Amino acid sequence: MEQFAPVKRAKDGQPIRYLVVDDSVFARKNLARIIGTFGGQVAGEAGDGVTAITEYERIKPDIVLMDITMPQMEGIEAAEKIVVQHPEARIVMVSSVGYQENIVAALQRGARHFVQKPVKPEVLYEVIKYVLGDDATVASAAGAGV
Amino acid sequence: MRMELIQPFINSADAVLAQGLDSQISIGSLSMEEDAYRRKGVAALIYVTGDIEGRVIFDLDSQTAVRVASKFAGTELPESDSLVWETVSELANQVTGNAITALNDQGFHFRVHPPVLHTAEVGSKSSEDTEALVICFETATGNIFMNIALRYNRRRHPEQAAVAGM
C-alpha cells in the first residue's frame, strides 16, 4: 500500500489520533491500515454510534472516522451528539451511501467532511489534511518511517 | 424487475470489485430466479426499504470467499476466520450503498439496513412483484453471485410512480 508523508499534530509533533467507527470489523481494519500509511494512530474503535460517543469521551481523538449505517445508533445521530458536547470535534463521515441528502444531513449535524466507500487512500489523506487545517503539519516524505 | 433498478447494482459491483480485487471483472451470467433462493456458501444479506423495497444477497462459495478475504486482508486467512464473513458483508454493503446512491439521483429514497449473515440454506421464493435476478461476476479469484429482489413500493409519492411507469 502506498505510503504518504506523515501528518502530525502541529502542537506537539505527535501522530494524529483517530477514533474509527464502523460496524464492520473488516472496514475498521481497512481504515486502520490506511491510517497507518498516513503516520496516524488508531486510538480507539467502535462498532456503533452509542459506543462511539463513550469512546470519544474517553480518548478525545483528533479525528473521528464515522460510518453512517450502523446498528443501535446511526453515524449521523452519533456525530450530532458528539458535536453538541464537543463543538471542536472533527468528524469525517465514511459511508458507501453517498447521495446528496445524506451528505448534507451529515454536514448540517456537525460532520466536517464526507468520504465515500470504497475508500481511496489518496482521497482520505487530502480530506484529513483539509479538516485538520493549521492544527496539523505534514512531515517531509523523507522523514516517513523515522 | 426493471433494468433501471438493476443497472446501478451492476455498475457498482463492477467498480467495487475491480478496485478491491485489483483485477478485471466480467459478467458471466444473468438470470431470473424462479425457484427459492439456495445459498452457495458465505452469504451476506442486505435489506432495502423506502421507495423501492427488497433485498440484495452477496454469495460466494466458501473457497472463493476465503480467497477474496485473503486478497483484501493482504494475508492468507483460514476458512474459519471471522474476517471472511466480514469481508463478504462489507463488499455487499459497499456495492449496495453505491448503487443506492446512484438510484437516489433518479429520485428514489431509501434506507439501507446493516448487512446480516444469511445462514439459511434456502430462502423465500420469488413472487410476481418481487422477482429475483441473479448475476454472476467472474473474477480472477472466483465467481461472485449477486441475487437482487426489489420492487417498487406502492406507497411512494405519486409523481415518482408516474416517472417509474414511463
pLDDT at B154: 62
Residues A30-58: b if buried by 16+ CB within 10 A, e if exposed: bbbebbebbbbebbbbbbbbbbbbebbee
Is pLDDT at A127 greater than 90 in this prediction? yes
Is pLDDT at B165 greater than 60 in this prediction? no
Top CATH class, A7-132: alpha beta
pLDDT at A143: 46
User: From the CB of residue B49, how many other CB atoms can be counted at a distance below 10 Å?
Assistant: 14
Residue A137 contacts B, CB cutoff 8 Å: no
Mean pLDDT of chain B: 84
* Residue spans per domain, chain A: 7-132
B97: which chain A residues are within 8 Å (Cβ-Cβ)?
69, 95-98, 117
Question: Average pLDDT in the A56-84 region?
Answer: 95
Nearest residue to B104 via CA among A95, A118, A98, A114 = A98
Judged by CB atoms closer than 8 Å, whether chains meet at B105 and A24 is answered as: no
Q: Which of A9-13, B22-26, B119-123 has the lowest mean pLDDT?
A: B119-123
Is pLDDT at B31 greater than 50 in this prediction? yes
**CA dihedral sign of residues A70, A76, A78, A79:** positive
Q: Sorting pLDDT into bands at 50, 70 and 90, what band is B107? A: confident
Judged by CB atoms closer than 8 Å, whether chains meet at B101 and A99 is answered as: yes
Residue in A27, A33, A97 closest to B100 by CB? A97
The answer to whether B136 and B40 have CB atoms below 8 angstroms apart is no
**Predicted complex ipTM:** 0.80
**CA dihedral sign of residues B33, B37, B42, B43:** positive
Nearest residue of chain B to residue A32 (CA atoms): B73
B52: which chain A residues are within 8 Å (Cβ-Cβ)?
none
pLDDT at B124: 59
The answer to whether A89 and A64 have CB atoms below 8 angstroms apart is yes
Is pLDDT at B161 greater than 80 in this prediction? no
pLDDT at B156: 53
- Cβ contacts below 8 Å, chain A against chain B, sum to 63
pLDDT at A146: 39
User: What domains appear along chain B, each with residue ranges and CATH number?
Assistant: 3-164 (3.40.1550.10)
